[in-house]
Amino acid sequence: MNRLWLYLSSTTTKTSLSLTYLLMILLIAGCSSTAQPTTTPPNSSTSNAQHEEHSMSMDHIGTTASAPEGSTTERPAKITTLPSIIQNNQINLVAQTSYLEIEKGKYLPVWTFNNSVPGPQLEVTEGDTVTIHLKNQLKVPIALHVHGVVLPNEMDGVPGMTQDAIQPGASFTYTFKANQAGTYWYHSHQDSLNQIGKGLYGSFIVKKKQDTVSSDHTLVIDEWSDPHTTVPESESNTLAINSNMGAYNLYTVNGRSGDLIEPIVVHQGDRVRLRLVHAGNMTQTLYIHSDAYRVTATDGHDINRPQTLSNGLLVIAPGERYDIEFTADTTGIQWIGMVGDSSFAQSVRIPIVIEPKGSKRTLTEITKKITSYQAQMTSIPSDHQQPLDLTTYGQPTTSEFGLKSVFDREYTLDLDMGVIDGKMSYTINQEAYPQVSQLKVQTGDAVKITLINESKNEDHPMHLHGHSFEVLSKNGQALSGSPIWKDTINVRPGDTYVIAFRADNPGMWMVHCHELHHASMGMMTDVIYEDYQTKYHPDPEAGNISE
């Protein structure tokens, strides 16, 4: 919870926050660390010991926030390297400390995989069996979750639920098959609000066996808190930000901000794919400055016959991924910019330089060209255009589910906030984890879930582990475009989504908000297969913190 500290130390708060929201922050800061009561006895598929350990893993909810470590302008002895690309299905990762030059001359203490933030990009081919050997050289326990990839339950990386957290000096090996090509990411799932916040994440790309794209680039966006940086400014553009619970004041792309953001350089005639990954906690809107592009995939699933777009807006929420494709027809500079009135949002401008075919200009020459174009990248057209609505995008085709399908299990999850056991919490059906009722299924069930956001000014990007789900409707309207399959869906204030999935991956799986402040304060539950018996028994001394 250390990212809340800036709220308590700063005299400046966002004008868009409601009074209720501010009172919630103050209540959280004053809460004691008293454990929440455990739930009623679990069903027969889960041992009492495991259930109690998983419940105990949430006892940190509502504890007093500590101050985040600040940046320094003195060059440290150890600095992160640029993220590497590992094109191998046998992967070695080491979690270790370092310093990230997040802005020119400003070094932030971070936790890394292989001394980079993001960690190395892991690239495999669909159908590969992947083995990840993770060694922990930090002083705290960690775990690894490959977000969006359908994994065996024992490889899901949730401490207290599928494994014990990896202790300092220890190692753990994850093995799974990557069946679905697409854009994914990996991150720690032990105390994830803090550990992802310190840099423990990276991209995970499953490539198609045959691909027509000739230039492929990944862009991981994130937000950071630094008490040595100016406090957050007000954002009047509500498309960009609807809350700033972490008081973030540094926005990055691939671990860099401002002039340090590395440009994307392609050549005329290239077919280009940009993979967007959101590793932060704030819903962001991106302006895509391109005359002709298509959003071709979301969360690792292709969109059927997507229409060509021009100079549009794309909302991306925590945990989501989008693939954008275009053909580099004409030379010049295109760009992607974060929408928002603050200097933090305006510091995120990603130049896309289209060079003549065969050009061999140096990076210095390319940088000079970008500098001359910089003024044109500072503003975003204010014609009140609406961001892309996936529920109307692409073309219809056959799909597994529909609103008239017969479902074996149906659940409704009301997402809100309230006081639970004397603590301000984010709730599901007026309950906070671990008191939230579990979603019980049997193998083979067709499951429908209705997600309703009752919050006044906060998004809830809900993530389902172990499965992909189909989006059936938004606010009562069935999809009119392509079928949409996702693992993370952003439910904005007042919105209602109906989603469905096939219970075809037995185990015990989390469902939680990927605005990780919300999850760590109670907005999560479990999907439990009644016909699954786990072999895992948590160690009560492991210090498991599952969220």
Q: How far apart are CA 538 and CA 164, in angstroms?
A: 6
**Beta carbons within 10 angstroms of residue 448's beta carbon:** 22
309, 296 contact by CB (below 8 A) = no
Which residues lie closer than 8 Å to 50 by C-beta, 6 or more apart? 42, 160, 161, 534, 536, 537, 538
Q: Is there a binding annotation on residue 518?
A: no
**Beta carbons within 10 angstroms of residue 258's beta carbon:** 19
Degrees (nearest 5) of the Cα angle 103, 234, 111? 35
Phi, psi of 364 (to 5 degrees): -65, -40
Q: How far apart are CA 390 and CA 323, in angstroms?
A: 13
Please name the helix (run of DSSP H) or strand (run of DSSP E) that holds residue 30, with its range, or none: helix 19-30
Give the position of tokens 């075919």: 357
DSSP output for 102-118: EETTEEEEEEEETTBSS
Q: Which two tokens stand for residue 466?
A: 């172990």
Please name the helix (run of DSSP H) or strand (run of DSSP E) that holds residue 448, with its range, or none: strand 446-453
**Beta carbons within 10 angstroms of residue 418's beta carbon:** 15
Q: How far apart are CA 17 and CA 13, in angstroms?
A: 8
Cis? peptide before 118, omega within 30° of 0:
yes
Q: What are the strands of the beta sheet with 145-147, ordered from one edge?
A: 85-87, 121-125, 201-207, 182-187, 145-147
DSSP output for 181-199: -EEEEEE--SSHHHHHHTT
281: nearest Cα among 72, 523, 508: 523
Q: Is there a binding annotation on residue 147?
A: yes
Q: How far apart are CA 509 and CA 260, in angstroms?
A: 39
Cis? peptide before 141, omega within 30° of 0:
no
168: nearest Cα among 59, 94, 60, 69: 94
How far, in Å, are 13, 63, 490, 526 from residue 54 at the CA level?
Answer: 35, 18, 26, 11
Amino acid of residue 233? E
SS3 content of the chain, % helix, strand, coil (to 5): 10, 35, 50
Q: Which two tokens stand for residue 318?
A: 């925590």
Rg (CA), the chain: 22
Q: How far apart are CA 413 and CA 460, in angstroms?
A: 12
Residue 415, classified by CB atoms within 10 Å of its CB into exposed (0-12), middle (13-18) or buried (19+), is: buried
Dihedral sign (CA 428, 433, 435, 439): positive
**Binding site: residue ranges?**
147, 187
**Binding site for Cu cation: residue ranges?**
147, 187
